[in-house]
Amino acid sequence: MNIQFKKGILELCVLSLLIEKDRYGYELFNVLSENIAVSEGTIYPLLRRLNKDGYFSTYLKESTEGPPRKYYKITDEGRKAHEVLSKEWKEFLNGVSNILTGGTK
Q: Residues 6 or more apart from 8 whose CB is under 8 A from it?
A: 85
Inter-axis angle of helices 25-35 and 3-20, to 10 degrees? Answer: 120
Q: Which is nearer to other proteins, 39 or 101 (CB)?
A: 39
Q: How far is the CB of 103 from other proteins (least distance, A)?
A: 39
Q: How many residues bind other proteins (CB under 8 A)?
A: 21
Alpha-carbon distance of 48 to 18, in angstroms, equals 14
Query: Shortest CA distance to 72 belongs to which of 25, 16, 10?
Result: 25
Ranges within 20-79 binding other proteins (CB under 8 A)? 24-27, 29-30, 39-42, 44-45, 47-49, 52, 65-67, 69-70
Contact residues: other proteins, CB under 8 A: 24-27, 29-30, 39-42, 44-45, 47-49, 52, 65-67, 69-70
